[in-house]
């Protein structure tokens, strides 16, 4: 039985216990509603929340914050019928669905359900790996030090965010870069690695989970790469998050970028699962 939820609280009341079992792997579909619950104005558009329960247990779930992809979850492979209920609900209500993100088997099953109903082309546009860190392995620290970003850094962070999204091949956010950067700085999310007074790399606290925290928006300008700044800022941020009481940190990497996958493992991140993204045409 499918239920569409009016808000994040309703979705979490049904989905949270099951999603928390593999919290790091489910950090996106769990972290987004938790952020919306804590910061109701964090997204400019109305989110979509749905759950499918079979035999008293959560069988599938979906979260979407337009204009981004729908994020789907299934309790086990072979859930095309349950995922089809979500596809039917999205289509019948006229939600714009640009694509889907999920673990590979679940994403592929949702794509099959979607194509059988909506037609059109389906294209693989991203293959990412989720990593988890429980203890930081200190890197060979480069010159410089970490500091929280302040208001004077907002314009630079906005430009670097744009560079991050471009490099990652990600859909640009609905929100203006300057507004997005300002909110993240004000929330104390942004950590910079600085050389003298000049920032040379950044990383962000992206989502807070019941037991962990997610690191994201790791970016070093092209002309400053190869000096270990990204490793340093991610290690420094990860240690701060652990020191603040989080049991672990998680992050995503693009499997097309072997450098990032290598440097994160050297500071203590271990693979958890893979996620893929498909675009609907």
β-pair type (57-64, 70-74) = antiparallel
Q: Of all residues in the chain, what percent are helix, strand and coil, respectively (each to 5)? A: 40, 30, 30
Paired with 101 in beta bridges are 71, 277
Q: Note the pTM of the prediction, 2 decimals.
A: 0.92
| pLDDT of res. 175 | 73
DSSP type of residue 65: -
Average pLDDT over residues 251-280: 93
Report the percent of the chain where pLDDT is more than 70.
Answer: 99
| 156-197 confidence digits (pLDDT tens) | 999 999 999 888 777 777 678 999 999 999 999 999 999 998
The alpha-carbon radius of gyration of the chain (Å, integer) is 19
> Mean pLDDT across the chain, nearest whole number?
95
| pLDDT of res. 256 | 84
Average pLDDT over residues 121-146: 96
| pLDDT of res. 174 | 63
How far is residue 30's CA from residue 26's CA, in Å, rounded to a whole number?
6
| 195-241 confidence digits (pLDDT tens) | 998 999 999 999 999 999 999 999 999 999 999 999 999 999 999 99
Q: Is 172 exposed, middle or buried (0-12, 13-18, 19+ CB in 10 A)?
A: exposed
Paired with 48 in beta bridges are 64
| 13-42 confidence digits (pLDDT tens) | 999 999 999 999 999 999 999 999 998 877
| pLDDT of res. 136 | 98
| pLDDT of res. 182 | 95
| pLDDT of res. 41 | 79
Checking if the pLDDT of 74 tops 70, the result is yes
CA atoms within 13 A on the CB side of 257: 15
Q: For residue 265, give the H/E element and its range.
A: helix 258-266
């Amino acid at each position: 039985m499918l239920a569409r939820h009016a808000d994040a609280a309703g979705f979490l009341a049904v989905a949270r216990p099951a999603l928390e079992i593999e919290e790091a792997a489910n950090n996106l579909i769990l972290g987004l509603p938790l952020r919306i619950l804590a910061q109701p104005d964090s997204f400019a558009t109305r989110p979509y929340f749905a759950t499918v329960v079979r035999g008293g247990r959560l069988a599938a779930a979906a979260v979407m914050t337009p204009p981004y992809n729908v994020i789907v979850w299934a309790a086990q492979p072979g859930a095309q019928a349950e995922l089809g209920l979500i596809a039917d609900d999205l289509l019948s209500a006229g939600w714009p669905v640009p694509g889907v993100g999920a673990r590979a088997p679940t994403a592929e099953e949702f794509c099959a359900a979607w194509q059988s109903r909506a037609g059109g082309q389906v294209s693989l546009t991203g293959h990412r790996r989720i990593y988890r860190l429980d203890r930081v392995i200190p890197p060979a620290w480069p010159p410089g030090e970490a500091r929280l970003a302040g208001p004077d850094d907002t314009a630079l962070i906005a430009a670097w965010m744009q560079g991050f999204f471009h490099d990652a091949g990600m859909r640009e956010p609905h929100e203006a870069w300057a507004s997005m950067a300002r909110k993240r700085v004000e929330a104390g999310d942004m950590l910079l690695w600085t050389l003298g007074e000049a920032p040379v790399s950044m990383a962000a606290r992206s989502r807070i989970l019941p037991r962990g925290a997610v690191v994201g928006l790791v970016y070093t300008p092209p002309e400053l790469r190869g000096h270990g700044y990204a490793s340093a800022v991610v290690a420094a941020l990860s240690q701060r998050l652990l020191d603040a009481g989080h049991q672990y940190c998680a992050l995503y990497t693009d499997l097309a970028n072997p450098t990032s996958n290598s440097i994160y493992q050297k500071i203590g991140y271990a693979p958890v699962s893979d996620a893929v993204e498909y675009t609907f045409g």
